[in-house]
Amino acid sequence: MLADVDLRIEPGELLAIVGPSGAGKSTLLRVLAGLRQADSGQVVRPESDGGSTRMVFQAPHLLPWRSVFANVRIGLEYRANDGHRRRGRADANARVATALAELGIADLADRRPAQLSGGQAQRVAVARAVVANPSLLLLDEPFGALDPLTRADAQDWLRGVRERLGLATVLITHDLEEALYLGDRVGLLHGTPGPLEFLSSPVHERTDLADGTARAALLARFTSSGESTDLSADGEPILVADPEPAGASRRQLFTVGSAATLLALPAVAAGIAHATDQASTEAGADPGAGTAPADRATLRIGYLPITDASPLLLAHANGDFADRGIDVPEPTLFRGWAPLVEALQGGQVDIVHLLMPLAIQLRYGAGVPVKVLAWNHTNGSALAVAHEVSELADLAGTTFAVPGWYSVHNVVFQKMLRDAGLEPVIDTEPGPGTVQLVVLAPADMPTALESGTVSGYIVAEPFCAVAEVQGIGKILRFTGDVWKDHACCVTVVHERLVSERPDVAARALEAIVAAQLRIREDRHGAAVALSEGGYLPQPLPAIELTLTEDQDPAYVSSGAVQHPEWGSHRIDFQPYPFPGYTAELVDAMRETTVDDSLEWLDAVETASVHEDLVTTELNLAAIEAVGGLTVFGVGPDRVEVIEP
């Protein structure tokens, strides 16, 4: 924990923060990034004066199928990246070219990430952050995973370019020499709560570190044996996280990636601690209970902090996986779809929830062999708008946020716009008959709406409920009232799990199905478990509002619900993936505007997608184990109903 911290970062200054594990480095970083409110005192961030904050992490998270130029350009693709409307493509390209030249990596522009060294990839990650001209740059051990020689080279590079950048920069590091070499000032956090101690770095050249005097003097500031021991092994990647918040490391809290067609890049997002294994046991999970097979398996969950993830999270919390012989470590929270996809592809996590259009794009557009095990939920999204917006026509000439190009949100919203006679545009100033679409990270959306930089947003809950609870905006329409009981997120695994370990995939499905039934039976209890278990950071009232059994009749009178006869919940849970929905979604994706080429869809045969993408046989077996489809109030067939 931190206490009595008085900190001011000047433009052009680099402040290096060092301290042993547990000193509060992640807490300070969360406060600076806007992810945590200070318990007392005042925090004035760049965003309060029209500025912005960006972060760079130990893993660069570059998209492997994009060039360096395209990866850096992502930093300009989203509304939150500056205080103006999204800039045109030509201007964005010019800014990327300038940034690459200023950072001395213009020669890398046409390379793919696989052609880069670790140091080069990290330089590209820095370029992606600074191309948007942020006011504050946060660096979280950006060179910690590099070998010593590459790290030294990267440090020299950063030292050389940062003066040209002129940014206020905070560097979190465990390496005392790195702090001294790069920092104008060094901030010391100690193992006990207390103020941040500052000293001016005496190091002006790398040769000043040669005799070890500067490092020894800095180490001597940490008087306890535990602190000095922890810091004496600097230069190694740090695997032990600050214990606050429990159960989550800075890596897990701030895993950030980028994707031109997946999600926005802004650093200000909802990073939270997830529940610990101990919390799962306290919630009633007995690792030895149930009919666990002798061949126990381990699966790692990756998720975003939205209610779409509820079945995965509560199957963990309630021991549904453990009861079926599957050991599940603490679920890992990711703040964006891109790093979640990369972690799944790279084997860092085994089971995730993904937007269904994204799963389709990954398998057929990007060549990532994913499989859909089940629907995670139905509905669960809405249009949250400014209070003065009373109908879709009021959105003409404004900027509106979607969470990703390949999302059911983008599909549904564009259907609504066209039905209202409005045209969605990208990279174009909105006019009388158009609405400019931009991608924002979900956690940035309420802030953007409150500031008036967007007229509204469409996104997964509970971020729409947050707008209501906090008085930021109102619900214009629920997506489940446009496309009846549509899927949004689905449970996704790598194809190798299904082909090589089908029994584990089947048991995981059984756990998810059991969790969905439990949520349907006790929605309030599910909301409390998600909140008090530390899985979701949003206020409990917003989570409860999302999961409530009965919708407020006021939604009917306001027009947010135009089809009360459908009896749709704000969010509901049933695992069966309807083939007709998959086909309808693929066709809808063909007519949805995205900032990407859709040529890959030309080679996709709509009728064959469901059988190829979805593990229907495993899915139905898991559903039959709990009593069949009727337990969830559905049958094997349905007709898709879409009424914008």
Q: What is the pLDDT of residue 228?
A: 47
At residue 478, the 3 state secondary structure works out as strand
Q: What is the CATH number of the domain that holds 123?
A: 3.40.50.300
Assess if residue 390 is contained within a domain. Answer: yes
The answer on 153 and 40 residing in a single domain is: yes
Q: Note whether residue 233 is domain-resident.
A: no
The pLDDT, as a whole number, for residue 77 is 63
Residue among 363, 371, 421, 357 nearest 392 (CA):
421
What residue type is assigned to position 380 of the chain? Answer: G
SS (H, E, C) 38-86: CCCCCCCCHHHHCCCEEEECCCCCCCCCCCHHHHHHHHHCCHHHCCCCC
For residues 387 and 304, membership in a common domain is answered with: no
| pLDDT score, position 276 | 31
Average pLDDT over residues 566-595: 97
Q: Considering only 134-138, 254-258, 330-334, which range has the smallest mean pLDDT?
A: 254-258
Tell me, yes or no, whether 586 lies in a domain.
yes
Q: What is the pLDDT of residue 2?
A: 60
Q: What percentage of the chain reaches a pLDDT higher than 70?
A: 84
| DSSP for residue 229 | H
Give residue 239's pLDDT. 29
Q: Is 135 helix (H, G, I), strand (E, B) or coil?
A: coil
Please tell me what DSSP assigns to residue 634: -
Distance CA 436, CA 450 (A): 18
Q: Answer yes or no: are the C-beta atoms of 408 and 584 closer than 8 Å.
A: no
In a domain, residue 469? The reply is: yes
The count of structural domains within the chain is 3
Q: Is residue 78 assigned to a domain?
A: yes
The count of other CB atoms within 10 Å of the CB of residue 498 is 18
Q: Does an H or E element contain 526, and which?
A: helix 523-532
Q: What is the pLDDT of residue 497?
A: 95
Which of 16-30, 52-66, 272-286, 442-456 shows the lowest per-residue confidence on average (mean pLDDT)? 272-286
Q: Tell me, what's the pLDDT at 224?
A: 53
Residue 612 clears pLDDT 90, i.e. is over it:
yes
Asked whether residue 240 carries a pLDDT value surpassing 60, the answer given is: no
Under the banding of pLDDT at 50, 70 and 90, the label for residue 88 is low
In a domain, 524, yes or no: yes
| Both tokens assigned to 115 | 């052609």
Looking at the structure, do residues 398 and 522 belong to the same domain, yes or no?
A: no
The tokens for 393 are: 């026509």
272 in a structural domain: no
In angstroms, the CA 281 to CA 147 distance is 39
Residue 626 has pLDDT above 90, yes or no: yes
What is the Cα–Cα distance from 24 to 7, expressed in whole angstroms?
A: 14
What is the mean pLDDT of the segment spanning 367-383?
A: 97
CB 593 within 8 A of CB 426: yes
Q: Which of 481, 504, 538 is the last residue of a domain?
A: 481
Amino acid at 364: Y
* 217 and 136 fall within a common domain: yes
Mean residue pLDDT across the chain: 83
Lowest mean pLDDT among 50-59, 391-400, 518-527, 580-589: 50-59
pLDDT score at 254: 32
Are 142 and 102 members of one domain?
Answer: yes
Confidence of residue 395 (pLDDT cuts 50, 70, 90): very high
Domain that holds residue 110: 14-222
Dihedral, 86, 88, 64, 182 alpha carbons, nearest 10 = -70
Q: Which range scores top for mean pLDDT: 74-88, 228-242, 437-451?
A: 437-451
Model confidence band, residue 550 (pLDDT cutoffs 50, 70, 90): confident
Claim to verify: residue 500 and residue 352 sit in the same structural domain: yes
Q: What is the pLDDT of residue 221?
A: 78
How many other CB atoms are there within 10 angstroms of residue 429's CB atom? 12
- CA 222/CA 572 separation, integer angstroms: 53
Q: Which residues pair with 493 in a beta bridge?
A: 351, 371
Q: List the structure tokens of 462.
A: 């509970």
pLDDT at 196: 77
Query: Predicted confidence band at 1 (pLDDT cuts at 50, 70, 90)?
Result: low
Q: Nearest Cα to 116, choosing from 173, 75, 78, 71?
A: 71
| Residues in CB range of 47: below 8 A, 6 or more apart | 34, 53, 268, 447
pTM: 0.64
* Buried-state track 579-605, b at ≥16 Cβ within 10 A, e below 16: bebbbbbbebbeebbbebebeebeebe
Say how far apart CA 623 and CA 509 lie, in whole Å.
9
Looking at the fold, whether 176 and 204 belong to one and the same domain comes out as: yes
Per-residue pLDDT at 89: 67
If asked whether residues 529 and 557 sit together in one domain, one would say yes
Average pLDDT for 571-580: 98
Residues 54 and 159 in one domain: yes
Q: Report which of 338, 344, 323, 347 is spatially closest to residue 403, judged by C-alpha positions.
A: 338
The answer, yes or no, to whether residue 614 has pLDDT greater than 60, is yes
**More confident call, 275 vs 22:** 22
Task: Please report the beta strands in 94-249, taking only residues with DSSP state E, as ranges in sequence order.
Answer: 136-140, 168-172, 185-188, 197-200
**Domain boundary residue, one of 159, 191, 222:** 222
CATH code for position 527: 3.40.190.10
Q: Which helix (H) or strand (E) holds 489?
A: strand 489-494
Top-confidence residue, 380 or 452: 380
pLDDT tens digits for range 461-473: 999 999 999 999 9
The answer to whether residue 328 is domain-embedded is: yes
Say yes or no to pLDDT of 422 above 90. yes
- The pLDDT tens digits of the residues spanning 176-211 come to 888 899 889 998 887 666 677 888 888 888 888 888
Q: Do 69 and 170 sit in the same domain of this protein?
A: yes
pLDDT of residue 35: 65
Least confident interval from 158-167, 240-249, 327-336: 240-249
**Which of 456, 481, 506 delimits the end of a domain?**
481
pLDDT band per the 50, 70, 90 thresholds, residue 102: confident
What number is the average pLDDT over the span 600-605? Answer: 95
Task: Give, in order, the Cα–Cα distances in Å from 528 to each of 285, 317, 331, 542.
Answer: 17, 12, 18, 11
Task: Write down the pLDDT at residue 243.
Answer: 30
pLDDT on residue 107: 92
Evaluate if residue 134 carries a pLDDT over 90: no
Residues 450 and 507 in one domain: no
Length of the chain: 644
pLDDT at 590 exceeding the cut of 70: yes
Looking at the predicted structure, is the pLDDT value of residue 546 above 70? yes
The closest of 263, 343, 278, 282 to 81, measured between CA atoms, is: 263
3-state secondary structure 92-107: HHHHHHHHHHHCCCHH
